[in-house]
């Protein structure tokens, strides 16, 4: 089946099997490998992308269901340097192995759009769908909190 | 430990929370994990046993081979014909097993056949077309069942399901019992769990027909050993395998057992004309890739009325499932630090490795120490209660004191440094122990149940390999070491390769910090390539990321190589500046003449001499400016059952935890979680903190949520993250960290292990807190996990968890 999807502002069109998962389309057809696969069942959040502005688990959607959609992956977050959230994850050590990081940052991005000054509790709640096996989450929470402060200061 | 005044030119980076700027790729989604490598691969899928225990009567792959898009199929019997059986490291009974099932299957999920096809979807389709005739056998799942005289045998040739039964005795345990006022006895059970790195196992294999050699990309955690195990199993010379380890999405020990799949991929790659890729699914990972074993720990502790621990006897039953390569290791590692932080003089340990039809086990974060610490620290609390002594006080009375350091345990383990009483004092203060205890009494009147738990634990690192041979003969590997290459490049910047790999610890940043202070430059001038390439990297048999060895031998190799480079820099600079080496000093990427201000030469100019203007080199000096060095920890003892140090550094931590138990729901809420950690000198405190907290959360997952649950037929019921639950951000507490710094005299930087401590101490601390909270109900905690269901049942009926 023909699928046409806009990912990070660029259009991708391909003939795919109806059973192809969106995450495989993103990784293998669009070759955007910052979106990862960790569990295959929608639990871990490593495959989190923005689908028409909302976060989804791209392992739970078929590529054909994304026909006509606008998707943003981690590669689309900042084309010029680091987004403040990315910078915050470096500044506050919000990652270790980096495998969950793309999903974590995109979940944080969506959170900070709707709630620019979240409490630690709200940050933790917002990360319900993202597993990190390395950090124990504390430095991730600190990173997002730091990013919120920096973004407020910068008026972003 | 080295003299820092001689080692370092500056102190701008060592010991500081330097940002991981080398790892910007991770926040941008630009890191290259194995699955991200684009090589137009064919894809592999595995047919796995649906039974836990069965004879394989027939495998017919003809329908699968006929499917369009299928390139090749391989079966267990075919693999067995061309490979050697798995080498067993610790067990002493004969047991024959291959990397793929042949003759019989021993766990649900054991690979029987593999298909390589144009894409993964077709490969999975083809699995459906493989016809397997099984003759189901009675599965053996529990330790008790495996030990029955008429139990079905996993390995008939072993004549028993007990593949290792070894006893180690040090000091006079019988005398300790005679002198004791009482001998406390208890049995503890710890379930199966795993640290489940977020990236599953991943391998790409490419066969070169001309040389019949292989290039493999794999997220292998211990490539040094894999080189010999893979090649030994394939019966090929090691130079016919090029093993490359790129980025790895977490390890925690679980990626130490990838090598059997590398063997299978290599064999499959011979059959096709393109590279082949296997990406493990999470279900495959949970089925058999791999687990920490479940176990039973029977403890006896002779004690005096004043609380003195006179001895410790442990009978340790380890359910090692069905992977003979690493079976038996856990018990032997538990044995090494079985006395914990206490001056227990007499020990006895019987280690049993039991084969069952559960999945394979391999070294998971902490390797046995979490279970041993759980059992010991529970026992300490039980003793305290029995003797009417406060749990903190009884620990103070038995601690190894700082003035006793270095302290040698009865079996020969050497605790190099540490101040256990001070760490507990700090823990009690930060954890507000006394206030919490007061609050506990008041809240109980209101029907609220809070409890405070303490756990102290030793966190050993730098494995002195060969420990398992203290039970079974002559070691193939001994000691611990690593290699490094450090060079100055054309621009005067520094390039580094090490034999180790990184599974998320920020090795590049830490290496950059050490080298920057050694050469007087900034970390942005140091580039570390974490990729291991067995054709280029300076690896040895011990190379890899495990047993907390990075801070010790990996950095040891980096330091030694940098010292060599530094000496060459000085020699070349002396030649260029026409000065004596003794009058030179480093600073700002230059070599300066000390008594002639302004006279200097840059690394870039030195590099130009070394690499380009080589005619101008001093007589007899070779061109180039790159050095290789290997380093081993010199304190490793030779294998000897009576006197051996299983690990070469020993950090320690203390956890003080306050919880509240909802007696209606059995749900446990954290009110306070304090970690005091002493890993000697911290090179990058922010990285250390992340690992201390991260490893603690591994322990909390094991304590409350994570369990591999099998039914009586040997079917694993927890094969997704919907059933095998992991901690999420909202369910873990905010941790308060405190530090103590007892520099390690035996590592070059005074550093010690930092990656496992939380996974070791947390189980016991939480269990002690929950038991304390439930003391009005006389509930005793002897097992994990502490699920709400078990908690409620214990309060209402059983009184035992």
Mean pLDDT on B190-197:
96
- CB-based contact, B782 to chain A, within 8 Å: no
Kindly state the percentage of chain B with pLDDT values over 90: 96
User: Per the domain annotation, does B746 fall within a domain?
Assistant: yes
The answer on pLDDT for B423 being more than 80 is yes
The model's pLDDT over B528-537, given as tens digits with 9 standing for 90+, comes to 999 999 999 9
Can you read off the two tokens belonging to residue B484? 């490094």
Whether residue B647 is found in the same domain as residue B626 = no
Q: What is the pLDDT of residue B232?
A: 97
Whether residue A96 is found in the same domain as residue A68 = no
Whether residue B551 is found in the same domain as residue B595 = yes
Whether residue B648 is found in the same domain as residue B777 = yes
Whether residue A133 is found in the same domain as residue A102 = yes
Whether residue A67 is found in the same domain as residue A106 = no
| Nearest CB partner across the interface for B198, out of A86, A99, A140 | A99
Whether residue A38 is found in the same domain as residue A90 = no
Give the C-alpha separation, A115 to A112, whole Å. Answer: 5
Query: Domain ends where: B608, B632, B656?
Result: B632
- CB-based contact, A55 to chain B, within 8 Å: no
User: Per the domain annotation, does B181 fall within a domain?
Assistant: no
Nearest to residue B558, comparing CAs of B526, B531, B582?
Answer: B526
Contact at CB, B690 and A44, closer than 8 angstroms:
no
Contact at CB, B197 and A39, closer than 8 angstroms:
no
Say how many domains are in chain B.
Answer: 3
Report the CATH number at residue B602: 3.30.365.10
Mean pLDDT of chain B: 96
A156 pLDDT tier (thresholds 50, 70, 90): low
Report the CATH number at residue B111: 3.90.1170.50
Give the C-alpha separation, B789 to B668, whole Å. Answer: 11
Angle at B465 between CA B464 and CA B469, to 5 degrees: 120
Mean pLDDT on B26-54:
97
Whether residue B793 is found in the same domain as residue B697 = yes
The answer on pLDDT for B476 being more than 70 is yes
Q: What is the pLDDT of residue B470?
A: 77
Residue B30 burial class via C-beta count within 10 angstroms: exposed 0-12, middle 13-18, buried 19 and up = middle
| B-interface mutation test, from A92, A96, A103, A132, most B Cβ less than 10 A away | A96
Whether residue A41 is found in the same domain as residue A8 = yes
Query: Domain ends where: A76, A104, A137?
Result: A76
Contact at CB, B198 and A82, closer than 8 angstroms:
no
Pairing of strands B346-355, B162-170: antiparallel
- CB-based contact, B567 to chain A, within 8 Å: no
User: Which stretches of B596-650 are DSSP H helices?
Assistant: 603-611
Nearest to residue B253, comparing CAs of B276, B283, B219?
Answer: B219
B474 pLDDT tier (thresholds 50, 70, 90): confident
N- to C-terminal Cα separation, chain A = 40
User: Per the domain annotation, does B257 fall within a domain?
Assistant: no
Q: In which domain, by residue range, is A56 found?
A: 2-76
Give the C-alpha separation, B786 to B779, whole Å. Answer: 12
Asked if residue B716 lies in contact with residue B49, where contact means CB atoms within 8 angstroms, the answer is no
H or E element at residue B412: none
- For A17, how many CA atoms within 13 A lie in the half-sphere containing its CB? 8
**ipTM for this prediction:** 0.97
Give the C-alpha separation, B783 to A27, whole Å. Answer: 43
Whether residue B627 is found in the same domain as residue B504 = yes
- CB-based contact, B474 to chain A, within 8 Å: no
Residues in chain A closer than 8 A to B691 (CB atoms): 96
Query: Domain ends where: B95, B111, B137?
Result: B137
Residues in chain A closer than 8 A to B284 (CB atoms): none
Mean pLDDT of chain A: 96
Q: Where are the beta strands (DSSP E) in B396-448?
A: 407-408, 414-415
Give the C-alpha separation, B654 to B459, whole Å. Answer: 11
Which B residues 170-209 touch A at CB under 8 Å?
A: 195-200
Whether residue A26 is found in the same domain as residue A59 = yes
B780 pLDDT tier (thresholds 50, 70, 90): very high
Whether residue A95 is found in the same domain as residue A47 = no
Which B residues 758-777 touch A at CB under 8 Å?
A: 758
N- to C-terminal Cα separation, chain B = 46
Asked if residue B441 lies in contact with residue B435, where contact means CB atoms within 8 angstroms, the answer is no
DSSP state for residue B768 in the 8-state scheme:
H
Query: Domain ends where: B121, B137, B153?
Result: B137
Contact at CB, B32 and A97, closer than 8 angstroms:
no
Give the C-alpha separation, B341 to B567, whole Å. Answer: 42
Contact at CB, B24 and A19, closer than 8 angstroms:
no
User: Per the domain annotation, does B379 fall within a domain?
Assistant: yes
Report the CATH number at residue A108: 1.10.150.120
- CB-based contact, B40 to chain A, within 8 Å: no
Residues in chain A closer than 8 A to B217 (CB atoms): none
Contact at CB, A133 and B728, closer than 8 angstroms:
no
Whether residue B429 is found in the same domain as residue B457 = yes
The model's pLDDT over B589-599, given as tens digits with 9 standing for 90+, comes to 999 999 877 89
Whether residue B719 is found in the same domain as residue B675 = yes
Can you read off the two tokens belonging to residue B384? 């305290």
Closest residue in B to A101 (Cα) is B27
Contact at CB, A127 and B730, closer than 8 angstroms:
yes
Whether residue B540 is found in the same domain as residue B685 = no
Report the CATH number at residue A55: 3.10.20.30
Write the DSSP assignment of B647-704 as a string of letters: EEEEEEEEEEEEEEE-TTT--EEEEEEEEEEE-BS-SSHHHHHHHHHHHHHHHHHHHH
- CB-based contact, B128 to chain A, within 8 Å: no
CA distances from B142 to B355, B358, B530 (A): 9, 9, 41
| Nearest CB partner across the interface for A97, out of B28, B248, B283 | B248
The model's pLDDT over B371-398, given as tens digits with 9 standing for 90+, comes to 999 999 999 999 999 999 999 999 999 9
Whether residue B692 is found in the same domain as residue B627 = no
Phi, psi of B501, rounded to the nearest 5 degrees: -125, 165
User: Per the domain annotation, does B664 fall within a domain?
Assistant: yes
Helix, strand and coil content of chain B, in percent to the nearest 5, comes to 35, 25, 40
Helix, strand and coil content of chain A, in percent to the nearest 5, comes to 40, 15, 45
Query: Domain ends where: A55, A76, A97?
Result: A76
Whether residue A56 is found in the same domain as residue A119 = no
Whether residue A41 is found in the same domain as residue A97 = no
Q: What is the pLDDT of residue B598?
A: 87
Q: Where are the beta strands (DSSP E) in B339-480?
A: 346-355, 407-408, 414-415, 449-463
Strand order in the sheet with B131-136: B104-105, B54-60, B131-136
What is the CA B223 to chain-centroid distance, rounded?
14
Whether residue B794 is found in the same domain as residue B649 = yes
DSSP state for residue B721 in the 8-state scheme:
T
Whether residue B447 is found in the same domain as residue B532 = no
H or E element at residue A137: none
Say how many domains are in chain A.
Answer: 2
Mean pLDDT on B47-64:
98
DSSP state for residue A62 in the 8-state scheme:
B
Residues in chain A closer than 8 A to B505 (CB atoms): 96
User: Per the domain annotation, does B527 fall within a domain?
Assistant: yes
Residues in chain A closer than 8 A to B689 (CB atoms): 93, 139
H or E element at residue B287: helix B282-288
Q: What is the pLDDT of residue B18?
A: 97
Give the C-alpha separation, B444 to B673, whole Å. Answer: 20
The model's pLDDT over B685-694, given as tens digits with 9 standing for 90+, comes to 999 999 999 9
Query: Domain ends where: A14, A41, A76?
Result: A76
- CB-based contact, A1 to chain B, within 8 Å: no
Dihedral (Cα; B5, B11, B14, B18), 10-degree rounding: -170
Kindly state the percentage of chain B with pLDDT values over 70: 100
The answer on pLDDT for B757 being more than 90 is no
Burial readout B185-203 (b: 16 or more C-beta within 10 A, e: otherwise): ebebbbbbbbbbbbbbbbb
Burial readout B498-507 (b: 16 or more C-beta within 10 A, e: otherwise): bbbbbbbbbb
Angle at A100 between CA A95 and CA A106, to 5 degrees: 95
- Asked whether the CA dihedral B474, B475, B478, B483 is positive or negative, the reply is positive
Whether residue B652 is found in the same domain as residue B792 = yes
Residues in chain A closer than 8 A to B17 (CB atoms): 93
Q: In which domain, by residue range, is B665 found?
A: 366-463+643-798
Whether residue A99 is found in the same domain as residue A150 = yes
- CB-based contact, A132 to chain B, within 8 Å: yes
């Amino acid at each position: 089946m023909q699928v046409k999807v806009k990912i990070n502002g660029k259009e991708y069109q391909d003939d795919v099997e109806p059973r192809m998962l969106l995450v495989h389309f993103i990784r293998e057809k669009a070759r955007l490998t910052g979106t990862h696969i960790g569990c295959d069942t929608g639990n871990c959040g490593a495959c989190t992308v923005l689908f028409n502005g909302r976060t989804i688990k791209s392992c739970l959607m078929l590529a054909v269901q994304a026909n006509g959609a606008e998707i943003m992956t981690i590669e689309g977050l900042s084309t010029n340097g680091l987004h403040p959230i990315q910078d915050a994850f470096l500044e506050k050590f919000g990652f270790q192995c980096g495998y969950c990081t793309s999903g974590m940052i995109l979940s944080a991005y969506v959170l900070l759009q709707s709630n620019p000054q979240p409490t630690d509790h709200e940050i933790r709640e917002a990360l319900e769908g993202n597993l990190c096996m390395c950090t124990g989450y504390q430095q991730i929470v600190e990173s997002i909190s730091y990013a919120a402060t920096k973004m407020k200061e910068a008026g972003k | 430990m080295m003299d820092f005044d001689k080692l370092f030119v500056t102190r701008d980076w060592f010991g500081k929370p330097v940002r991981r700027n080398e790892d910007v790729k991770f926040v941008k989604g630009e890191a290259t994990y194995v699955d991200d490598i684009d090589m137009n691969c064919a894809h592999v899928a595995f047919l796995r046993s649906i039974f836990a225990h069965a004879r394989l009567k027939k495998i017919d792959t003809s329908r699968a081979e006929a499917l369009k898009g299928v390139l090749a199929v391989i079966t267990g019997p075919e693999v067995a014909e061309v490979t050697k059986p798995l080498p067993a490291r610790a067990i002493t009974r004969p047991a024959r097993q291959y990397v793929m099932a042949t003759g019989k299957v021993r766990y649900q999920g054991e690979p029987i056949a593999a298909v390589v096809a144009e894409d993964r979807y077709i490969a999975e389709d083809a699995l459906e077309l493989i016809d397997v005739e099984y003759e189901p056998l009675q599965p053996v799942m529990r330790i008790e069942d495996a030990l029955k005289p008429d139990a079905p045998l996993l390995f008939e040739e072993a004549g028993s399901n007990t593949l290792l039964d070894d006893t180690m005795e040090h000091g006079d345990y019988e005398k300790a019992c005679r002198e004791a006022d009482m001998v406390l006895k208890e049995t503890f059970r710890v379930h199966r769990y795993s640290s489940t790195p977020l990236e599953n196992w991943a391998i790409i294999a490419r066969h070169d027909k001309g040389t019949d050699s292989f290039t493999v990309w794999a997220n292998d955690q211990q490539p040094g050993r894999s080189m010999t195990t893979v090649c030994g199993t394939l019966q090929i010379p090691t130079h016919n395998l090029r093993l490359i380890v790129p980025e790895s999405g977490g390890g925690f020990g679980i990626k130490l057992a990838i090598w059997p799949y590398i063997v299978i991929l290599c064999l499959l790659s011979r059959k096709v004309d393109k590279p082949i890729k296997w990406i493990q699914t999470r279900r495959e990972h949970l089925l058999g890739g791999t687990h920490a074993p479940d176990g039973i720990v029977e403890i006896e502790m002779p004690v005096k009325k004043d609380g003195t621990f006179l001895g410790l006897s442990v009978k340790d039953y380890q359910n090692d499932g069905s992977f003979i390569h690493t079976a038996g290791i856990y018990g032997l590692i538990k044995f090494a630090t079985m006395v914990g932080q206490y001056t227990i003089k007499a020990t006895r340990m019987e280690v049993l490795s039991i084969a069952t039809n559960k999945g394979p086990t391999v070294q998971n974060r902490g390797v046995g120490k979490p279970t041993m610490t759980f059992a010991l620290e529970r026992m300490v609390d039980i003793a305290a209660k029995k003797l009417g002594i406060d749990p903190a006080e009884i620990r103070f009375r038995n601690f190894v004191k700082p003035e006793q350091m270095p302290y040698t345990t009865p079996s020969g383990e050497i605790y190099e440094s540490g101040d256990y009483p001070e760490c507990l004092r700090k823990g009690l203060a930060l954890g507000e122990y006394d206030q919490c205890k007061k609050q506990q009494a008041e809240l109980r009147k209101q029907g609220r149940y809070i409890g405070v738990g303490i756990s102290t634990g030793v966190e050993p690192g730098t494995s002195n390999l060969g420990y398992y041979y203290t039970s079974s003969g002559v070691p193939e590997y001994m000691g611990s070491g690593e290699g490094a290459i450090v060079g100055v490049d054309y621009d005067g910047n520094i390039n580094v390769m090490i034999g180790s790999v990184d599974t998320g610890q920020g090795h590049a940043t830490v290496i950059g910090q050490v080298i920057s202070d050694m050469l007087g430059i900034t970390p942005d001038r140091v580039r570390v390539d974490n990729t291991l390439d067995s054709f280029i990297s300076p690896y040895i048999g011990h190379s890899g990321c495990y047993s907390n060895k990075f801070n010790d031998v990996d950095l040891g190799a980096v330091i030694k190589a940098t010292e060599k480079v530094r000496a060459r820099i000085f020699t070349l600079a002396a030649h260029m500046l026409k000065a004596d080496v003794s009058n030179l000093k480093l600073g700002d990427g230059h070599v300066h003449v000390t008594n002639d201000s302004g006279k200097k030469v840059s690394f870039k100019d030195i590099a130009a001499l070394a690499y380009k203007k080589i005619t101008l080199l001093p007589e007899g000096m070779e061109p180039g400016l790159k050095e290789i060095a290997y380093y081993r920890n010199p304190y490793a003892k030779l294998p000897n059952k009576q006197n051996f140090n299983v690990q070469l550094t020993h950090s320690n931590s203390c956890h003080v935890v306050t919880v509240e138990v909802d007696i209606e729901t059995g749900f446990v809420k954290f009110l306070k979680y304090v970690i005091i950690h002493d890993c000697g000198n911290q090179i990058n405190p922010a990285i250390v903190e992340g690992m201390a907290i991260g490893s603690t959360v591994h322990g909390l997952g094991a304590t409350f949520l994570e369990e591999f649950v099998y039914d009586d037929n040997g079917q694993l019921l927890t094969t997704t993250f919907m059933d095998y639950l992991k901690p999420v951000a909202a369910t873990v507490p905010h941790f308060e960290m405190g530090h103590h710094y007892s520099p390690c005299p035996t590592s070059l930087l005074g550093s010690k292990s930092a990656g496992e401590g939380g996974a070791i101490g947390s189980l016991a601390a939480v269990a002690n807190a929950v038991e304390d909270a439930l003391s009005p109900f006389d509930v005793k905690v002897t097992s994990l996990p502490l699920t709400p269901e078990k908690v409620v049942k214990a309060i209402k009926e059983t009184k035992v968890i």
